[in-house]
Structure 1
Amino acid sequence: MASTTDVIAAPAPAPAKPPKRPPARKMVAWLDPLTLVKTGIRSAISATIGKQADRRLLDALAAPDVKPCDVSVDAAGRPRQELWLDYVSDLGDGWNSTYAVAETVARPSLTLRDETGATHETRGGAVLVFGGDEVYPDASLLAYEERTLHPWTCALRGQRPPPHLFAVPGNHDWYDGLVSFMRLFCQGRTLSGFETCQRRSYFAAKLPHGWWLIGTDMQLESDVDQPQVSYFQELAKQMGEEDRIILCLAEPAWLVSQVRPKEGRSYLENNLDFLEEQVFGKKVSVFLAGDLHHYRRHANPEGRQKIIAGGGGAFLHPTHLPRKEAELADGFTPRKIFPSPQESQRLCWRNLGLVVSNPRFGVLTGLLYMLLAWALSVNLGGANVPQALGLVVRTALSNPGIVLISTLVILGLMGFADRRFGRWRWLVGLLHGLLHLTAAFLIAWGVSHLMGSLVDLPFRSLGRDMLSAALIFVGGFLAGPTIMGLYLLLSLNVFGAHPNEAFSSLAIPDWKNFIRLHIDKEGHLRIFPIGLRRVPRAWKRGETAREPEWVADPRDKRATPPALIEPPIVL
């Protein structure tokens, strides 16, 4: 018997087993009906509120100081002789794509090979810029944590000192009125290993050798507000005559109107012209923008650069649109596109397998086809196709329910049709809708014939009806997405329409990119566009404290290492 002085030690708790795989979030399924409804509602609410109450006005009153963040000196206050920066835009989507970019950026150094075979040594940036749309599909603290901060925190673990973080808000960041964005990036906190110093949704940072880093906020209306204009006008007074600017924008005004025509896009172009001509003059040497999820560079004879680099983790956008670019101002001409237009056109064929990438959309079309067949409530088993079609037409005309459903389908697809079709838009939507209705009729006719051949089997009436409904659902599950995929394929590859829908539906995680910049000791700026042809799909835990939390599993043989998209650009 133990004495009262004896201590019975409690058993030590078993150590928690590390997870075998990261808590991966899949890429956003943009044809998922629930995602479409949720995002559409958030977008409509944000647009309505944004027109009535601009959050930027309140933030300007709360932080009136126009003193820029000074990263031209190190932590000890000594002037930096050189500086490395990283620019990543359109991130916070699926784990594989977002983490692959984050892990590449987080490495202390990268040895990169360009298309000529030459190798270049680069270092991880002391400054990191998130260039817009930091999370998908819409902003919230939980979404930022799961889709953006967690992958980047895992990637930076033990790699190198945390960088100074700046963030440009995109339209997806504005979907909650910019509330989450301001809490995370604009309160001067140490955020998951990042050092933040910006106080507004736009920012200015002083860099070595007369370089400046400027980030703007165009809000949902693609407009620069007056306090922001005043901020940059005061900032311009602090710049020297020979100073140069790297300007970060949420949208590429020089091209977005050709790729994504919308009403009001002229505001975006006018804002850029105003900043460039009336505020900063010709000091802007490099324009950086995301929003379009690929890499595309324009340059003019003076050496000024306009670069789209929206490959931080979101789905790939097509590069074979526009087929022929309109001439840009100031002599800017296209220099490089990644992936190539030919590769982009080939990738579009994946839309024929839309049911695989968007199974929930297949559930929607399966239910719709089943509903149409139920509304018919007619036996087609004993009729051939012409007879069945006549029977369907007569039944439909006498059934208000099926007329209503069919009309809603056709009107919905007319509204869905891209305005790039011009005056043929309504006809295209009509034909698309009629194709779905025809498919529903043929599936119902085929199931009726099949049920007719099973008449001698011991099925009860209820069981026969349930089997018929299940077969029609399966037919709609397969046919609906296939028809939609064919429609998107032909629309983009033949008519140059629906570029966003045709590629967002595919959720392609590959062909990622980011920009690494280096200001050297002589004050020259080198731009390294870095691409990931195929991101890893398999990960294992890092084994040492000097590794990120997750590293690519070497058994994933198809993953490709980072490489330069083109040789470095020197300014």
Structure 2
Amino acid sequence: MTDDHSRPVEAEPVVPPRPRSMDPQEIGFTPQRMVGWLAPLLLLSTGLRALLAILFGAYLDKRELQNSLDGEWFDHSATADGEMWLDYVADLGDGFHSTYSVAWLLAQRQLTLDGDELPRGRLLLMGGDQVYPLASGDAYENRMKGPYRAALPEPPPDQPRPTLFALPGNHDWYDGLTAFLRLFARRKDGHIGGWRTQQRRSYFAVKLPGNWWVFAMDEQFGAYIDDPQLLYFEKAARNVRPEDRIILMTPSPKWVKATTEDPAAYDATDYFLRTILAPTGANVRVLVSGDMHHYARYSGPDRQLITCGGGGAYLLATHQLPEQLTVPPEETLTRSKSRSRRYDLATRFPSAAESRRLSWGVFRRVPARNPGFATMLGIIQTLTMLAMAGAASQGGNIQRLFTIPLSMMILIVLGGTVLFARPPGAAFHNHARHWLFGLGHGFAQIGLAILGAWVWLRTPAHDWSWPGPLVVAAVVYGPIIGFLSTQLCALYLLIAGQFQVNVNELFAGQSIEDRKSFLRLHIAADGSLTIHPIGIEAICRKWVADPDGDPHSPWLRPDEPLVAHRIEPPIRVE
């Protein structure tokens, strides 16, 4: 066990002077734009990393090595009045404006909602994906650590120093947890601004007041739960009593993905519940996760299943969520070991109607947010058109139309669209609809190239001497066909999303910054837990330095309204 008094007091870090502007030299980091998820190099890089993680994840897995690190659970149950406030946020570390908007609200001494005062949490629980798109020291510094340090540069002088615990998500895992462990699991207590870091591994167990516990399990890419992690939680579980209640943090909401993607997705979570927590006799009342970038709560007779991934990353659709879940799914092997229960969708943010409306923004936002993607499509379409026009101008029988250049371009188009519909993470789920939509999208793009070749052969440019046709195609035809091809891709995403294909890409390509969310939880003196889901309709995009503020106040303050609201009435767990 590790508590607040078991370690020597570490010297406070040297805090830089308060900045007078948003110059990176003054604030100590470079604010980042939202990630353009359809950028060609990023698509290739993340696809390869996801594939490597699936194929070779066991060889890159550092969880076994964590057995050499301190393996104690943490005791934060001692409070003067028997109650505690704590916060939960996940999927942060994307664009500066969205990430810092949430961090600024989390750092405020208190939030006033509907006349209720909600104090800042003594614990800040980060639920995964603390950085995008790929984990590295610089990425953490610019996209997560810097903004959170600016939001709470020093601990409050009249309150206990808040503690931060972080659970890795799949993007934290892409470098094998190297940068994550360096930032969050230091040998001595570390600091991210006014928050201190205390954990020693990528998973943790924390005892809270009122007979509550937080168990955070690290289970990524469908991997097994490693033996050191199981031993860690078995040791912590020996201190859990039958009257205790548990909040279980997971990297992703497998209760949803088991219904929408793969029925076996929930198996590892079910195994953890059955073998580690069930023998204690304690009740697991709340399961909470990020990974899906919205807020959704499923309610059942025994527990609440909450997804809250609104810490800063792009918004994800909610209108595709199932209205009811059966957990564990009845078609999995765990059905014979665990009793399945039904959970109803109680609340989602944004609403289903608003989510559908936002999905139509794909036609406008995809080319604006991803100019490199439109350029790539323009190049592919131009080369395909020139190959078609060259083959058609030769005349002859049908066999001569399929020249080597044209055949190569057709294979590139069809291969690219199928891979786009079946990303590496979904390659083993064998959904025929992914193949059908991928091929349909590919043939639609080829049809657009045929139309372009027909028009091209009726213009004088195709008869000019070389390289005249290539110059005209690159300067005039390329930008036009690139825009049309992007609009065709947007139409494909809109249609395919209705059939659970490329739903993530439909919204990732738009990089919607607004509609963010986090949780503020309160454990009362009587042991009851109240969950306050907090939403932000519109983030702040204008910030000004506050050089004369108190040392612990945010370095940057909003220069336009930043309003938080309750997503739904407080959820009371007796």
When the two structures are superposed, what TM-score results if normalisation uses the length of structure 2? 0.85
Check 1:451–1:181 CA distance in 2 against 1; reply closer, same or farther (3 A cut): same
SS in 2 for 1:320: coil
Q: Distance in 1 between matches of 2:397 and 2:104?
A: 59
Q: Letter of the 1:25 partner, please give it.
A: Q
What is the CA distance between 1:392 and its match in structure 2?
11
Relative to structure 2, which stretch is displaced further, 137-146 or 460-469?
460-469
Check 1:448–1:238 CA distance in 2 against 1; reply closer, same or farther (3 A cut): same
Q: Is the 8 A contact 2:93 2:312 kept in 1?
A: yes
Q: Distance in 1 between matches of 2:104 and 2:567?
A: 18
Q: Distance in 2 between matches of 1:447 and 1:40?
A: 35
Question: In the alignment, what sits opposite 1:469?
Answer: 474
Q: Distance in 2 between matches of 1:396 and 1:272?
A: 61
Q: Distance in 2 between matches of 1:93 and 1:396?
A: 50
Q: Distance in 2 between matches of 1:237 and 1:183?
A: 29
Deviation per residue, 1:271-328 (Å, 9 max, x gap) = 34425764444421221111111111122234x2221111111111111113543434
Match of 1:36 among 38, 43, 52: 43
SS in 1 for 2:205: strand
Match of 1:335 among 343, 346, 359: 346
Match of 2:544 among 540, 547, 552: 540
Q: Does 1:426 align with 2:435?
A: yes
Q: Is the 8 A contact 2:388 2:401 kept in 1?
A: no
Deviation per residue, 1:92-127 (Å, 9 max, x gap) = 1111111110001000010013xxxxx321011111
Deviation per residue, 1:513-571 (Å, 9 max, x gap) = 000011122222111100001111222212532341112212xxxx5510010111122
Q: Is the 8 A contact 2:20 2:546 kept in 1?
A: no
Question: In the alignment, what sits opposite 1:19?
Answer: 22
Match of 2:556 among 545, 550, 557: 550
Q: Is the 8 A contact 2:298 2:343 kept in 1?
A: yes
Q: Letter of the 1:492 partner, please give it.
A: G
What is the CA distance between 1:239 and its match in structure 2?
2.0
Question: In the alignment, what sits opposite 1:526?
Answer: 530
- What are the within-5 Å matches in structure 2 for residues 77-92 of structure 1? 79=80, 81-92=82-93
Q: Distance in 1 between matches of 2:263 and 2:243?
A: 38
Q: Is the 8 A contact 1:421 1:497 kept in 2?
A: no
SS in 2 for 1:412: helix
SS in 2 for 1:301: coil
Q: Distance in 1 between matches of 2:414 and 2:54?
A: 27
Q: Is the 8 A contact 1:107 1:124 kept in 2?
A: yes
- What are the within-5 Å matches in structure 2 for residues 256-267 of structure 1? 256-259=257-260, 261-262=261-262, 264-267=264-267
Question: In the alignment, what sits opposite 1:170?
Answer: 169
Check 1:26–1:124 CA distance in 2 against 1; reply closer, same or farther (3 A cut): same
Question: In the alignment, what sits opposite 1:7?
Answer: none
Relative to structure 2, which stretch is displaced further, 357-366 or 154-163?
154-163
SS in 1 for 2:249: strand
Q: Does 1:344 align with 2:355?
A: yes
Q: Does 1:362 align with 2:374?
A: yes
Q: Distance in 2 between matches of 1:265 and 1:292?
A: 15
Structure with the greater alpha carbon radius of gyration: 1
- What are the within-5 Å matches in structure 2 for residues 167-316 of structure 1? 167-187=166-186, 188-193=188-193, 194-259=195-260, 261-262=261-262, 264-275=264-275, 278-302=278-302, 304-316=303-315
Q: Distance in 2 between matches of 1:17 and 1:422?
A: 55
Q: Is the 8 A contact 1:376 1:395 kept in 2?
A: no
Aligned length: 527
Question: In the alignment, what sits opposite 1:116?
Answer: none
SS in 2 for 1:518: strand
Q: Is the 8 A contact 1:252 1:290 kept in 2?
A: yes
Match of 2:454 among 445, 451, 460: 445
Question: In the alignment, what sits opposite 1:371?
Answer: 383
Q: Distance in 1 between matches of 2:564 and 2:520?
A: 12
Q: Is the 8 A contact 2:324 2:342 kept in 1?
A: no
Q: Is the 8 A contact 1:510 1:532 kept in 2?
A: yes
Q: Is the 8 A contact 2:206 2:214 kept in 1?
A: yes
Q: Distance in 2 between matches of 1:175 and 1:157?
A: 29
Q: Does 1:408 align with 2:405?
A: no
Check 1:443–1:186 CA distance in 2 against 1; reply closer, same or farther (3 A cut): same
- What are the within-5 Å matches in structure 2 for residues 507-522 of structure 1? 507-522=511-526
Q: Distance in 1 between matches of 2:305 and 2:433?
A: 34
Q: Is the 8 A contact 1:396 1:402 kept in 2?
A: no
Check 1:270–1:155 CA distance in 2 against 1; reply closer, same or farther (3 A cut): same
Relative to structure 2, which stretch is displaced further, 352-361 or 417-426?
417-426
Q: Distance in 1 between matches of 2:544 and 2:352?
A: 34
Q: Is the 8 A contact 1:135 1:143 kept in 2?
A: yes
SS in 2 for 1:176: coil
Relative to structure 2, which stretch is displaced further, 545-554 or 362-371?
545-554
Q: Distance in 2 between matches of 1:268 and 1:342?
A: 34
Q: Letter of the 2:148 partner, please give it.
A: W
Check 1:19–1:537 CA distance in 2 against 1; reply closer, same or farther (3 A cut): closer
Q: Does 1:152 align with 2:164?
A: no
The unaligned stretches of length 5 or more in structure 1 are 1-14, 114-118, 381-387
The unaligned stretches of length 5 or more in structure 2 are 1-17, 328-339
Question: In the alignment, what sits opposite 1:45?
Answer: 52
Identity of aligned pairs, percent?
Answer: 35
SS in 2 for 1:96: helix
Q: Is the 8 A contact 1:538 1:552 kept in 2?
A: yes
In angstroms, what is the RMSD of aligned CA positions?
A: 2.8
Q: Distance in 1 between matches of 2:396 and 2:476?
A: 19
Q: Distance in 1 between matches of 2:341 and 2:266?
A: 17
Question: In the alignment, what sits opposite 1:135?
Answer: 131
Question: In the alignment, what sits opposite 1:12?
Answer: none
